[in-house]
Amino acid sequence: METLQVDEKEDSKRLDVVLASHQKVSSRSEAQRIIKSGNIKINDATEKISPKLKVKKGDLIEFSVPPPASTDVLPVAKPLDIQYEDDYLVVINKPGGMVVHPSAGHYDDTLVNYLLHHTILSDKDPVRPGIVHRIDKDTSGLLVVAKDNRTHEKLAKQFFHHTIKRIYEAIVWGTPEQPVGIIDKPLGRHPSDRKKFAVRESGKNAATHWKTVLKLKYLSLVECRLETGRTHQIRVHLTSIGHPLVGDKVYGRYRNYADKLSEETVRLLKQCEGQALHAKSLAFHHPEKDEWMTFNSERPEYMNVLIKAMQEELKKSG
């Protein structure tokens, strides 16, 4: 049985948030699994305990970590773009269009399925073995995946404390007024569409640093560095300042410049099947080798083709 006493800075916070800060709990999702399993009590009481419960300073939380639930994730053979691998972890360059882990409608065509055919993965979350962090289906780029539970826990702590460095490239509509900036706006579930997220005062704190890398015809290439890793963070934050991502059918929309651009460029813009977003850089402290590791990946070719086309359009316009 593990114990945790709520201190002053944790007063009035949600139970799952406080529990996730314990060294034996790797993530908030695992904290919720512990709470829902019933293997927890607060001040010797076991009734009416839920993840949303607000704890108070001095509360004594006692809990045990239950064994993983059984699950059947099918290993599937598929070539992967492996950037680095050792006995503890693997760094993958995920293509756009690939789902990260099994979910409704995607049971055998995800990164997890393909990784399980290649290697063993941690089972801290048996539904999402090995997955410490995610990127959206249509976002391409780098992820680190854990092979064992100890590595998983240590990487999860780095994400929790925001010490892992992540940089993304995005092609957005328009050009921001300033060359650099930070969007510091809380994010939460959209009030009417539960599949979307929105800037909400009641949401979780979220911060995105951005800078304009290239000014293109009607578009810009923007680089984003995350302080936090909220779901859809870059997509929602950039939309909130008037610069949605090209190809984002959830938070953006196609802007019709058919009368101002060549037919080929218009075709390229309309062909974008998902948001033009690439996780280009990932850096973290290796959990076992005691060294800082940095990985970089080239943006996908469709983004390069679109950038080149818009540069040509810019030249034509003088």
Q: In the predicted model, what is the mean pLDDT of residues 252-258?
A: 83
What is the residue-averaged pLDDT of the chain? 91
- Which domain range does residue 193 map to? 165-316
CB 34 within 8 A of CB 66: yes
Q: Please give the tally of structural domains in the chain.
A: 3
Q: Are residues 184 and 312 in the same domain?
A: yes
Is pLDDT of 26 > 70?
no
Residues 31 and 111 grouped into a single domain: no
Query: Of 159, 185, 211, which residue constitutes the final position of a domain?
Result: 159
**Active site includes 44?**
no
User: Quick one: angle between helices 263-271 and 301-316, nearest 10?
Assistant: 150
What pLDDT, on a 0 to 100 scale, did the predictor assign at position 290? 87
Do 311 and 280 have their domain in common? Answer: yes
| 184 lies in the same domain as 249 | yes
Which CATH number do you get for residue 271?
A: 3.30.2350.10
Catalytic residue among 16, 123, 136, 148: 136
More confident residue, 213 or 290: 213
293 and 194 in a common domain: yes
- Whether residue 174 sits in one domain with residue 208: yes
Q: Each residue of 301-313: pLDDT tens digit?
A: 999 999 999 999 9
151 shares a domain with 122? yes
Q: Is residue 97 part of a domain?
A: yes
- What pLDDT does residue 102 have? 86
Structure confidence by residue, pLDDT tens digits, 208-222: 999 999 999 899 999
> What's residue 70's pLDDT?
43
Q: Is residue 225 part of a domain?
A: yes
Residue range 84-109: average pLDDT?
A: 92
- Whether residues 186 and 297 fall in one domain: yes
Q: What is the pLDDT of residues 32-75, one digit of tens each?
A: 888 988 889 999 988 889 999 999 999 999 998 765 554 578 89
Q: How far is CA 139 from CA 21, 197, 219, in A?
A: 29, 17, 18
Q: Which residues have a Cβ under 8 Å from the Cβ of 45 and sit 6 or more positions away? A: none
- CATH number, domain of 17, equals 3.10.290.10
Whether residues 170 and 312 share a domain: the answer is: yes
Residue 273 in any domain: the answer is: yes
Of 135, 159, 183, which residue is a domain's last? 159
Residue 318: pLDDT band with limits 50, 70, 90 = low
What percent of the chain stands above pLDDT 90?
A: 70
Q: 159, 187, 207: which is the final residue of a domain? A: 159
pTM: 0.77
Task: Tell whether 278 and 172 lie within a shared domain.
Answer: yes
Using alpha carbons, list the distances in angstroms from residue 222 to 50, 202, 245.
41, 28, 10
In a domain, 293, yes or no: yes
% the chain with pLDDT above 70 = 97
Q: How far is CA 4 from CA 20, 41, 136, in A?
A: 11, 11, 34
Same domain, 225 and 275: yes
Mean pLDDT of 248-257: 87
pLDDT, tens only, 154-210: 999 999 999 999 999 999 999 999 999 999 999 998 888 877 899 999 889 999 999
Per-residue HEC secondary structure of 220-234 comes to EEEEEEECCCCCCHH
In this structure, is residue 69 part of a structural domain? no
Residues 144 and 179 in one domain: no
Using a 10 angstrom Cβ sphere, with 0-12 exposed, 13-18 middle and 19 or more buried, the burial of residue 247 is buried
In a domain, 74, yes or no: no
Q: Indicate whether 75 belongs to any domain.
A: no
The order of strands in the sheet holding 40-42 is 2-5, 60-63, 40-42
Residue 68 counted as domain residue:
no
For the segment 96-118, the average pLDDT, to the nearest whole number, is: 91
